Amino acid sequence: MRCPSCHHNGTRVVDSRPVDDNKEIRRRRECESCGYRFTTFEKVEETPLIVVKKDGSREEFSREKVLRGLIRACEKRPVPLEQLEQIVYDIEKELRRIGNSEVSSVDVGEMVMDELAKVDEVAYVRFASVYRQFKDINVFMDELTELLNRQSKK
């Protein structure tokens, strides 16, 4: 690797350790010519995760898009941003663990709703009302009844 200070090609690895849940390797390097030390990160190039939408179109999975939906559902609710970011991380980790390069938007939406139901019931209902596009109040009431039944079983 080329030294960023003197541009010499010879460097040696001084220290190496995994970071970011073993997804990256942080390496401390030292130039054999000038002694300059610098840090590099080595990361596995992941294949893109494709979301197949209800209309059949495809787009790359976006953590930001899922997080925006969660933030919108949790507006004015006592749910910390860190918890929402962890939900997004967990969902993406699970999708990658399953190993399919394509996943349906329905599956992603259901995973989001499952996680929201554990965190905040009001946020869950908000997200479900948009995601499931309730046609009338009866369908909305059915969803609320189902949520209440799940809560009473706990």
Q: How do residues 8-43 score in pLDDT, each as one tens digit?
A: 999 999 999 998 777 799 999 999 999 999 999 998
pLDDT number for residue 154: 62
Residue 113 pLDDT greater than 80, yes or no: yes
In contact, 34 and 46? CB cutoff 8 Å? no
| Spatial separation of the C-alpha atoms in residues 134 and 89, rounded to whole Å | 28
What's the average model confidence in pLDDT over 38-64?
92
Q: How many Å is the maximal CA-CA distance in the chain?
A: 75
Residue 5 has pLDDT above 80, yes or no: yes
Cα–Cα dist 91/93, whole Å: 5
Q: What is the pTM of this model?
A: 0.65
3-state per-residue secondary structure call for the chain: CCCCCCCCCCEEEEEEEEECCCCEEEEEEEECCCCCEEEEEEECCCCCCEEECCCCCEEECCHHHHHHHHHHHCCCCCCCHHHHHHHHHHHHHHHHHHCCCEEEHHHHHHHHHHHHHHHCHHHHHHHHHHHCCCCCHHHHHHHHHHHHHHHHHC
Residue 57: band (very low, low, confident or very high) from pLDDT cuts 50, 70, 90: very high
Q: What's residue 44's pLDDT?
A: 79
Question: What confidence score (pLDDT) does residue 153 get?
Answer: 72
CB atoms inside a 10 Å sphere around CB 117 = 18
- Per-residue confidence band for 133, with pLDDT thresholds at 50, 70 and 90: confident
Residue 152 token pair: 């009473």
For 69-112, the pLDDT digits (tens) are 999 999 999 999 999 999 999 999 999 888 889 999 999 999 99
Domain boundaries along the sequence of the chain:
11-43, 50-153
Are the CB atoms for 27 and 16 separated by under 8 Å? Answer: yes
